[in-house]
């Protein structure tokens, strides 16, 4: 039986070309700043995002947590959207590692506004934690790959400058936003003090993210990475995969977006299933199931039994993600399976 794995874009395997790049990578000791391939990757990503310097880290979570540590003091408050990755999926890292509390605001498809943030800022009073950092997520995972509107980012940046707040972007899938909108990466970059971008999702590298910012910020980040145990020595074998991905897999993200739109349309056509097509702008599709007709755990299990893997995202939602290890035939098979399985009521 065919298996179509739509659980995540983290599941991709290195391509033959990427494996060759890994095998041929020049390496050195990255903790001493002497790995030429890591240095090339860091410089390249920083330049793409319009920043002075970059730091190769093990994961997007590490990138986000190092950034929070750099921008805050213990007892500070970080403003975020309530469904963002840093608040929900990073193990309570802000409290555990930085001693800060998150202030989650309700967003609309992952988007919070400058007006909401302004209303949430703490007064300068010792009774309150001090608002120090705003963190946004683009694209937004739990919102179904929603792209954060640039106009709203500009408004939030203006507020941050007025209130002397720092701005961090969880840009794990910022590559997808860039390809979908055509907005240059450095245009996004100019509104944030730091950005973390993943290489191991849509770009298909096996490991790693890059955190970028000013040279001073990256000097601090390097220390926190070391404290977290993130010094990986001859990491050029991993950085080489990231460089290859930037050369060969960035532009093809548009294909993932097209396939996700096809999946979204197919699911939305089924009775009792709703997909917000306005939110499905990139490579993530979240289907919302009518609880009177479906139990999503049963649906996900039935899909898996028929060779289509997905993730139950809540009591009513299932997530599907397209990536470079899929082809057009896989998408057709998945849609046919949706009709076969989800077409049956009371699952």
- Note whether 313 and 143 are within 8 A (CB): no
The greatest distance separating any two alpha carbons of the chain, rounded to the nearest whole angstrom, comes to 63
pLDDT of residue 278: 85
pLDDT of residue 125: 87
Last residue of a domain, one of 221, 248, 275: 248
pLDDT of residue 345: 60
Query: Which residue shows structure tokens 């961090």?
Result: 168
Written as six digits, the tokens of 314 are 């809540």
pLDDT of residue 274: 95
* CATH code at position 294: 3.90.1150.10
- Are both 273 and 287 inside the same structural domain? yes
Instruction: State how beta strands 4-5 and 317-321 pair.
Output: unpaired
- Are both 238 and 89 inside the same structural domain? yes
Q: How far apart are CA 64 and CA 172, in angstroms?
A: 9
Containing H/E element for 101? strand 101-105
- Are both 226 and 109 inside the same structural domain? yes
CA-CA distances (angstroms) from residue 194 to 160, 216, 295? 13, 11, 41
- Are both 187 and 73 inside the same structural domain? yes
pLDDT of residue 344: 66
Q: Is the pTM of this model over 0.75?
A: yes
3-state secondary structure of 332: helix
* CATH code at position 230: 3.40.640.10
Range of the domain at 262: 252-341
Q: What share of the chain is helix, strand, coil (3-state, %, to 5)?
A: 45, 20, 40
Q: How far apart are CA 148 and CA 175, in angstroms?
A: 13
Say if residue 9 is exposed, middle or buried (CB neighbours under 10 Å; 0-12, 13-18, 19+).
buried
What are the average pLDDT values for consecutive 10-residue runs of the chain, which has 347 residues?
A: 92 97 97 96 98 98 98 98 97 97 97 98 92 97 96 98 98 98 98 98 97 98 96 96 98 98 95 91 96 92 96 94 97 95 71
pLDDT of residue 279: 85
pLDDT of residue 343: 79
- Are both 258 and 243 inside the same structural domain? no
């Amino acid at each position: 039986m065919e298996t179509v794995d739509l659980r995540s874009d983290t599941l991709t395997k290195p391509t033959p070309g990427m494996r060759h790049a890994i095998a041929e990578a020049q390496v050195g000791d990255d903790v001493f700043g002497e790995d030429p391939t890591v240095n090339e990757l860091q410089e390249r990503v920083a330049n793409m995002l319009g920043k002075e310097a970059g730091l190769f880290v093990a994961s997007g979570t590490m990138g986000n947590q190092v950034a929070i540590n750099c921008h805050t003091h213990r007892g500070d408050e970080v403003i975020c959207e309530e469904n963002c990755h840093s608040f929900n999926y990073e193990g309570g890292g802000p409290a555990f590692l930085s001693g800060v509390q998150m202030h989650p605001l309700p967003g609309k498809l992952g988007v919070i506004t400058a007006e909401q943030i302004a209303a949430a800022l703490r007064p300068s009073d010792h009774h309150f934690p001090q608002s120090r950092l705003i963190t946004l997520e683009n694209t937004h995972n739990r919102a179904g790959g929603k792209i954060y509107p640039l106009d709203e980012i500009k408004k939030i940046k203006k507020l941050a400058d007025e209130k002397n707040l720092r701005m961090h972007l969880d840009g794990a899938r910022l590559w997808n936003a860039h390809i979908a909108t055509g907005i240059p990466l450095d245009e996004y970059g100019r509104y944030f003090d730091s950005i973390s971008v993943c290489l191991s999702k849509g770009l298909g590298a096996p490991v790693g993210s890059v955190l970028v910012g000013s040279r001073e910020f990256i000097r601090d980040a390097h220390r926190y990475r070391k404290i977290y145990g993130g010094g990986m020595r001859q990491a050029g074998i991993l950085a080489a995969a990231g460089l290859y991905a930037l050369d060969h897999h960035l532009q093809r993200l548009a294909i993932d977006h097209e396939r996700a739109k096809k999946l979204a349309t197919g699911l939305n056509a089924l009775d009792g299933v709703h997909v917000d097509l306005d939110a499905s702008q990139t490579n993530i599709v979240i289907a919302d199931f009518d609880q009177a007709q479906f139990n999503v755990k049963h649906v996900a299990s039935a899909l898996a039994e028929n060779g289509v893997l997905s993730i139950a995202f809540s009591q009513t939602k299932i997530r599907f993600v397209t990536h470079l290890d899929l082809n057009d035939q896989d998408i057709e098979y998945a849609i046919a399976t949706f009709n076969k399985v989800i077409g049956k009521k009371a699952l």
